[in-house]
Structure 1
């Protein structure tokens, strides 16, 4: 066995962060854990029992909030004579995070969405003296309003429980808690006098609620069954109870002005603006109605709703709402914009005088042509300084703080967005996230109060989230090559030269995008509707990916018992085949334009009849890459077949057409077993077939005609009624090795 703890002692200095000074914002001093120290201690004990089973009794935990005198979390760990570890921290999250640091760097263990590696040595490795771990960041934020649709929409309580455990272990103390809010809105709308059909016409289906909440769309995928409201409300109560038990501060929803059309029947004089279409949707499902925050009805509805939120969910005094998300305000007058934010905030303080408004700063990036410094400052200064926290949502690529004088004095959280739509595909900006938060802290008159992770979708690229969450407890950037080596060791439970080299290669290439302004949608032709205008660019040298693939493949025989390794073997092979698809696509395009039918048949035949089917078989061999799981989770929430069909349609549509006719086509693409066979492969098959027919007949290829034909394939998948496997099938190693033997030589030649 390799040494488990020897190399870890070098990390002690790096992990011990020395912090000075008190919060710059006394307005945030009341934001504290609600649970008692004893309750938080109990929550960590229960987490360890779920994670480690009987071994959990070797940890003695206690929460003592007086350990920190400046609201900055700290944890102290020491060993006892009888081989136990005592962990004392300022909150449940601090203790859980401290223990996870010990498990990582002394026990060589790892916890992730794609499996755990928990081969804990016995006895527990000894600590010399006291290991003190603390953070310079008051808040460690997690989630994006879109995550609730792209990832957690179909989750049951066991899956939520697992995620909240992951949050605690990774130091999250400010999570978004948006589940179940439609149930409360339903009560508010009824109290206002709306009838059931007006309410039904407003809510979108479950898979699209994030954008319904942000006033981007309504109705599509609905109506929401009553059972949905009941289920989600009960789930939210459990979620909040568990989050608070760790000492987390859940962020609850507030009113943004988005209203059902029926409000106009009840209040015809209300100052309501109808927005224009959003994201290629027509006004059947978009063009939302927005109530002007300066209208007295806004205060009435906002107060009514927040009163319900506080009554049903309690409060920790932080609320999120986003005005003008991906929408242009009707006026750029700074006086108007200040009045808007002042009125939104007033609807919060009318119910909770201690309210803090947490706002996503996405609008300043997505509508940058509108939001110039005077407009940004006006919106931010409509709220007293220190009573709003801004999420610098995409700071690793498009930081806003740096050109707004640190949000003109409002506190902000530096966030890594990383992923759009929950897409599959390797991606990272390791150099940026390794330096960005530290630069932001040193920025002149910095108002940074936290660090955050705001992916639109999760359960992908676990390495990026482990690194980002760990950086919240560091005083300086890490050595990325060393960090990647240690990550490989704990993810697989052993040090191995091949795997160390592989992860160092990945970290210096595919995980280190340095292209300015790069937005990580998976642009690969593999998951896009075929055309002759596809994005074939890469931000890295694919040769590095191929080298890493070979190194991981060579290490495979002795590691296939580790779920974490099997996942990574599938994932790296999937990434290589994704890049090879682009190469075959280029061959197909060249053959067609040069009117070479034999070459077209060869390239198209390999892609459609071998590469893509092999990829489907590979993905279907691992439980983490199954379409069936996503669909089964959706159907399991239904009370009857009618509801099951509605949820099934929602689940399939979001992954594919994203709208009735492909309004946001393939935005939320996933490379999953079943989806690869019945959706992506079918599209490519039709494309190649169409090109062959064009060459045979001498007809030109017409994209519009093809789009009409392929739309029938796409829509057909949504309604095919097929039940997809929820359990993996086939031997991952055998499939991956067969693919390697066939395609590694191709990769060396082509890439």
Structure 2
């Protein structure tokens, strides 16, 4: 045992013995007839000694002897000494009050548990029941000033010690106030040498309200950087957009502009240089204000899929003041899946651009999982795991049982895969190992990244708990949050609501309520992940007063294709904004993959901020969205192109709309009859797993879920092509043209597939072959248009992935990772095509061979050579096409070939006749 451990063991043992003696004397005294009013006379001296001895804990914290915040520790110790010495020791009336008995009893019980826990923890022999008691008391050890300065907790009062202690301390103060006022204790009156006065009696009136439990809040999640540091970061961001751009702005941070949201003002500074003043509540608000100014004045467009900045020599201020206020304080961004589907291969330059993009769009609470494996690896190494074992874990197999055979482990429910890649072991929350590993992780996290107070943890994401026993659910929640508190007293647990979709049993017996309320209100920040479609705050009573963030998910697996639901997104935002008695504190984007349908996300981001307190309800939506889409097109493509705007409006009324909204609008002039009939017969849900059936494993009876009427899509395609003369130099335009072309061909292919099914049912062999050939032609043409643009080429993404490898073997593994993800996903084809992409090489070498094999099986059935068997087909598809493709390597990286505009025009003229 080291000197440090030996000293701390001795200190904690002495305190444990002291407080145990105090509690023992109270119990014996009460049993032998001592009244409650005389308890202080029996144990007062010992309480004063051992509580004053706790001043050493401030020294322990300040010197780094223990890992605890110095300020928090000082507040805890000094607030007790305040009650003990000036209130109780110096006022006889307080000594005989019931309150003194209550708080001494509460203190002694909590300290017996606390100090025994610390002492035995040093010896690594902490009993399970002591772990549980320590976790219980942890929530209630912050009182008086600590509740405001350190934690801002709202204490739940169902556990006895907290109300016992607080009630006792308040009663003792009340008992002392009269004598203090009469005797003028600790009061300084004028005149005196200091020329100042102080009245201790009146000061107590300000102290007493501090005992009232605070309402739950996550308001302390604020920028850790100073105002000057934030302004400097925004200035650097501006100069990355355009060198010298920061010189045209005066940036100011004023946190008093708004209490419960972010706000930014943009107006003329009216100085000699005619600069623009941006005043906001934070650095991120300033960045949003600059972006709003550049978009409105100069049609600048900075998106995740491209940038268009054309600025004059002098950037002038707006003609009139602009004001923007956010819906809630936070704008969340990310999904645990996004880090694999979209971010996996990024280098720093790509990350820097994206971080800039987030700031410019007002995002201030992004999910940050980058580098998490490094933290866990360091933790596992400290627990004695070898590098080989750690590498195996990151591939999926459970490992804790091998290292801690006596730990209480539960088998988590399997997720898609077998036990080789799933079914991990879950340490029971009551086991000492739970806190031990969790605290080690939090400490490592602090070492690498510092403390930022918001921590993501999803214990049952897409898994059903082993049991819905109330105590189990409460213990899991309790234990997870206690792990966070063990290192960061200001912790906020960020929890995805997705876990509550895993089982209907969360709705039974208030199971979700038991889980969410096991910790104080304000301790959990729920991310309502799919609120634009399935807002769970409605089903779970606003998450039982825990604050939450309304999020738009929209995309699964990074699947491509044009789709969205702009009207519904707006309506759901309007709905939640009008609901009372809920604690929504922000909005966010939670898509599984980016690089698709940017218009949907830009609209949502803009709706997260209210310009000049503008309310966009259902009545105002149709005016708003048509003005907005025109501005969006001008910003994205750089000029007022009538044909482009016409195309965007057609897409708005097709792929970016929903039936139940459009029956209430007055758009007869822009919605054609085919579209109206189609909308009546089909509800456009956001379940887009069947978008682009040509990219799905072929089977009989599929239904295309891609949205849009083929006729209207072709009209939009034609209008978009009309602008190619003036827009074809724009990379963004070319990218959008490729996506629109592919979407139109996908819809055409889906129609041909339906005709093919009909010919198969009728057993018309020749007609079947003609339709099959037509589908194959569409797939070949999808390959053709995709090869004209690098972003739509598998080889380009493979090149980016392989560049992250330091050795040939690593590069091969990264390529296999990418190929697996966009095809069969797992080694046994666990969720085939979930993250499929519309890329060159996938069309020609993966999708087309699958369809040819499918056609061969169907045609053999038509000829009565064999009976069609989907199971047999699936087996052949997997072993002959899918798995070999996922495991192969590309020796050479292809480069784009052909002119996108030329190829798109050829395809438009070819297919518009058969649309």
Which TM-score band (shorter chain)? 0.7 to 0.9
Partner of 2:790: 623
Match of 2:305 in 1: 114
Instruction: Give the one of 828, 844, 853 matched to 1:686.
Output: 853
Contact 2:799 2:893 survives alignment (8 Å)? no
Q: Which residue of 1 aligns with 2:458?
A: 322
- Counterpart CA distance in 2 for 1:143 and 1:347 is 24
Residue 485 of structure 1 deviates from its aligned partner by 1.9
When residues 525 and 378 of structure 1 are mapped into structure 2, their CA distance, relative to the original with a 3 A threshold, is same
Q: 1:45 aligns with which of 235, 238, 241?
A: 235
Question: CA offset at residue 31 of structure 1?
Answer: 1.5
- Work out the CA distance in 2 between the residues paired with 1:65 and 1:442: 28
SS in 2 for 1:460: coil
> Does 2:775 correspond to 1:607?
yes
**Contact 1:67 / 1:89 at 8 angstroms: preserved in 2?**
no
- Find the counterpart in structure 1 of residue 408 from structure 2: 271
Tell me, yes or no, if the aligned pair for 2:410 and 2:426 is still in contact at 8 Å.
yes
Shift of 1:317: 0.3
SS at match of 1:98: helix
Deviation at 1:668, TM superposition (A): 0.2
Match of 1:492 in 2: 637
Contact 2:558 2:593 survives alignment (8 Å): yes
| Offset from partner CA, 1:273-319 (integer Å, 9 cap, x none) | 1134322x222222111111222210111001011001111021000
CA contact (8 A) 1:389 1:411 kept: yes
Alignment correspondent of 1:375: 511
Give the Cα separation in 2 of the matches to 1:723 and 1:97. Answer: 44
CA distance in 2, matches of 1:349, 1:38: 30
Deviation at 1:522, TM superposition (A): 4.0
Matched, 1:395 2:531: yes
Deviations for 1:383-421, whole angstroms, at most 9, x for unmatched residues? 100111000000000001112221110000000001000
Matches for 1:668-747 after TM superposition, within 5 Å: 668-696=835-863, 698-711=865-878, 712-723=880-891, 725=893, 727-747=895-915
Q: Is the 2:724–2:901 contact (alpha carbons within 8 Å) kept by the matching residues of 1?
A: yes
Deviation, structure 1 residue 504: 1.9
1:441 to 557, 573, 577: 577
Can you list the C-alpha shifts for 1:158-191, whole angstroms capped at 9, x where unaligned?
1111110110111100011101111111121121
Q: Report the CA distance between 1:698 and its aligned residue.
A: 2.9
In the superposition, relative to structure 1, how do residues 373 and 741 fare at CA in structure 2: closer, same or farther (>3 Å)? farther
Greater mean deviation of Cα atoms: 282-291 or 715-724: 715-724
In 2 relative to 1, CA 724–73 (structure 1 residues): closer, same or farther, beyond 3 Å?
Answer: farther
Q: Is the 8 A contact 2:785 2:903 kept in 1?
A: yes
Deviations 1:412-433 (A, max 9, x none): 0000001000000112121121
- Are the aligned partners of 1:113 and 1:459 in contact in 2 as well (CA < 8 Å)? yes
Select the residue among 376, 383, 389 that pairs with 1:198: 389
Deviation at 1:566, TM superposition (A): 1.1
**Structure 1 unaligned spans of 5+:** 1-22, 205-217, 220-259
Residue 521 of structure 1 and its aligned partner are, at CA, apart by 2.1
Alignment of 1:148-187 (within 5 A): 148-187=339-378
Q: How many Å apart are 1:573 and its aligned residue?
A: 0.9
1:60 and 2:249 aligned: yes
2:282 paired with 1:91: yes
Provide the secondary structure at the position in 1 that maps to 2:819: helix
On the 8 A contact 2:688/2:706 being kept in 1, the answer is no
Residues in 1 aligned to 2:506 and 2:703: alpha-carbon distance in whole angstroms: 28
| Residues 643-682 of structure 1: pairs in structure 2 closer than 5 A | 643-682=810-849
Q: Which residue of 1 aligns with 2:292?
A: 101
**1:64 CA drift (Å):** 1.7
Query: Secondary structure of the residue that 2:689 maps to in structure 1?
Result: coil
CA drift at 1:97: 0.6
Change (3 A) 1:119 1:724: farther
> What SS class does the counterpart of residue 106 from structure 1 fall into?
helix
Q: What displacement does 1:537 show?
A: 4.1
The one of 558, 564, 569 aligned to 2:737: 569
Q: In 2 relative to 1, CA 544–58 (structure 1 residues): closer, same or farther, beyond 3 Å?
A: farther
Q: 1:422 to 1:138 in 2, by over 3 A?
A: same
Match of 1:11 in 2: none
Write the distance in 1 (CA, Å) between the matches of 2:480 and 2:849: 48
8 Å CA contact 1:623, 1:726 repeated in 2: no
Correspondent of 1:505 among 650, 658, 663: 650
| Counterpart Cα distance in 2 of 1:367 and 1:727 | 47
TM-score scaled by length of structure 1: 0.85
- Aligned counterparts of 2:507 and 2:454: Cα–Cα separation in 1: 25
In the alignment, which residue of structure 1 is the partner of 2:422? 286
Question: Are 1:77 and 1:131, in contact at CA under 8 Å, matched by a contact in 2?
Answer: yes
Q: Distance in 2 between matches of 1:126 and 1:428?
A: 35
Contact 2:250 2:275 in 1 (8 A): no
Q: Would the aligned equivalents of 1:480 and 1:507 in 2 still touch at CA under 8 Å?
A: no
Find out whether 1:72 has 2:240 as its counterpart. Answer: no
C-alpha distance in 2 between matches for 1:329 and 1:371: 13
Q: Give the Cα separation in 1 of the matches to 2:816 and 2:509.
A: 43
Alignment CA distance shift 1:723-1:469 (3 Å): farther
Q: Give me the whole-angstrom Cα distance separating, in 1, the residues matched to 2:306 and 2:892.
A: 22
Higher CA-based Rg = 2
Does the CA contact (< 8 Å) of 1:142 and 1:175 recur in 2? yes
Please give the alpha-carbon distance, in whole angstroms, between the structure 2 residues aligned to 1:504 and 1:732.
23
Q: Secondary structure at the match of 2:267?
A: strand
May I ask how many residue pairs the two structures share in their alignment? 668
Q: How does 1:212-611 map to 2 (within 5 A)?
A: 218-219=396-397, 260-261=398-399, 263-279=400-416, 281-372=417-508, 374-474=510-610, 475=613, 476-477=615-616, 478=621, 479-513=624-658, 515=683, 518-608=686-776, 610-611=777-778
Matched residue, 1:10 = none
- Which piece of structure 1 moves more, 473-482 or 340-349? 473-482
In the alignment, structure 2 segments of 5+ residues that lack a partner are 1-153, 155-213, 660-682
Q: Aligned pair in 2 of structure 1 residues 529, 724: CA closer, same or farther (>3 Å)? A: farther
Tell me the residue number matched to 1:16. Answer: none
Q: CA deviation at 1:373?
A: 6.3
**Counterpart contact for 1:362–1:393, Cα < 8 Å:** yes
Partner of residue 222, structure 1: none
Structure 2 CA distance for partners of 1:328 and 1:548, relative to 1, 3 Å:
same
Between 1:405-414 and 1:627-636, the stretch displaced more is: 627-636
* Structure 1 residues 651-710: Cα deviation after superposition (integer angstroms, max 9, x where no partner): 100100011121010000110122222111221222223333444463222212221221
**8 Å CA contact 1:45, 1:61 repeated in 2:** no
CA distance in 1, matches of 2:844, 2:243: 39
2:752 and 2:247 map into 1 onto residues whose CA distance is: 55
Aligned-pair distance for 1:589? 1.9
Please, what TM-score do these two structures have when normalized by structure 2? 0.70
The Cα RMSD (Å) is 2.1
Greater RCO, CA 8 A, separation 6+ = 1
Deviations 1:572-618 (A, max 9, x none): 1111111111111122222222222221221111221x221221121
Tell me the distance in 2 between the aligned counterparts of 1:404 and 1:373: 12
- Describe the superposition over 1:64-90 as per-residue Cα deviations: whole angstroms up to 9, x where unpaired: 243535253222222345454332322
What is aligned with 1:249? none
More helix by share: 2
Q: In 1, Cα distance between the equivalents of 2:215 and 2:747?
A: 48
User: How big is the shift at 1:548?
Assistant: 1.6
Deviation at 1:540, TM superposition (A): 4.2
Shift of 1:123: 4.2
Q: Contact between 2:254 and 2:279, CA under 8 Å: does it hold in 1?
A: no
